[in-house]
Amino acid sequence: MSDERRRYLRQLTLSGWDQERLDKSCVLVAGVGGLGSASSLYLAAAGVGRLRLCDADRVEISDLNRQVLFSMSSLGKPKVEEAARRLAGLNPETSVEIFEERLTGENIDRLAAECDIIVDGMDNMEGRFVLNGYSVRKGIPYVYGAVHGWEGMAALIHPPETGCLSCLIPSIPPRPESPVPVAGFVPGAIGLIQAAEALKQLMNLGGALAGRLLIYDGRSMSFDLVAWGRNPGCPVCGSP
C-alpha cells in the first residue's frame, strides 16, 4: 500500500469521497488567523492539492489562544510563512503558496486566480465584501465565517444558486471594539465547519450550509440554522 493511500485510508472508503478531485483542487484561505488556522489544517490534512494563503500580519503572543498553526517560536514571524511550514510538516503532498499581503479589491483577482473555492479567514467586513464580490463575479463558492465573543457563524455562498453576503448583510456594520473579544475555541469550531463545507463542495457532495446561516453559541453549546434567500434588489448579485 502506498504512503498516500495509507495517509487517507480512513476517508477513502467513505461514500462519495473523491480523493482525486481534492488532489486537483485549489483553495484560497483568505487570512490565517483563528478561522484560517483551523480550516487550513483540515484542508491540508484531507489532501487538497493546492492551498493559497493570504495574510499580511505577523504572529503576536495574543494570537496563540486561538491561532493553532503557531507557537512561541513563531512570534514576530510572518503568519503565512509559519503557516506554510506547519502545513508542510502535516502533509507535504499539499502545495502551499503564500502571499504576505493584505487582501484588497485590487489584488483579489491575482490571489484567487485558478482557485475553486474561497474560505473566509478575514477579521474585517471590508475584506469579506471583497471576497463576496469576487465570488459573485466569477461564480465560485465562498465559505463565509465570522466570530465574536462566545459566538460564531458560517454559511456557504454560491450565487446564483444562493444569495450573496450582501443579501445577508446589506451594509458594512460599524467596526467592533478592538481587540475583539473571542473564546479561543470558537474560531476553531467555525473553521472546522468551513473546512467541512469546502471539502464537500469540492467533491460535488453539496453544501449543507448553502443558503443557510449556521449560528454557534459556544457558551450554551447550541447550533441554530437560519434560512436566507437571494435579494432581487441586491446591488451585488441582484437583477440589473
* Residue 195, domain member (yes or no): yes
* Residue 36, domain member (yes or no): yes
- Asked if pLDDT for residue 175 goes beyond 80, the answer is no
Segment 109-122 shows an average pLDDT of 97
- Asked if pLDDT for residue 1 goes beyond 60, the answer is no
What's the half-sphere exposure (Cβ side, CA atoms, 13 Å) at 97?
15
* Residue 111, domain member (yes or no): yes
Q: How many CB atoms lie within 10 A of CB 236?
A: 18
**Residue 11 banded pLDDT, cuts 50, 70, 90:** very high
- Asked if pLDDT for residue 65 goes beyond 60, the answer is yes
User: How confident is the prediction for the chain on average, in pLDDT?
Assistant: 94
* Residue 13, domain member (yes or no): no
* Residue 11, domain member (yes or no): no
Under 8 Å between Cβ of 215 and 221: no
| The total number of structural domains that make up the chain | 1
| Ramachandran region, residue 211 (left: φ > 0; alpha: ψ -120 to 50; beta: rest) | left
* Residue 215, domain member (yes or no): yes
* Residue 3, domain member (yes or no): no
Q: Which of 20-24, 95-99, 175-179, 189-193 has the lowest mean pLDDT?
A: 175-179
% helix, strand, coil for the chain, step of 5? 35, 20, 45
* Residue 194, domain member (yes or no): yes
Q: What is the pLDDT of residue 201?
A: 97
- Asked if pLDDT for residue 79 goes beyond 80, the answer is yes
Residue 166, domain extent: 19-227
Q: What angle do CA 92, 128, 56 make, to 5 degrees?
A: 55
* 105 vs 238 pLDDT, higher one: 105
Grid cell, residue 219, equals: 457558551
pTM: 0.95
**CATH number of domain containing 114:** 3.40.50.720
**Residue 240 banded pLDDT, cuts 50, 70, 90:** low
Q: What is the pLDDT of residue 151?
A: 98
Amino acid at 26: C
Asked, as a colleague might, if the bond just before 160 is cis with ω within 30 of 0, I would say yes
Q: What is the pLDDT of residue 15?
A: 95
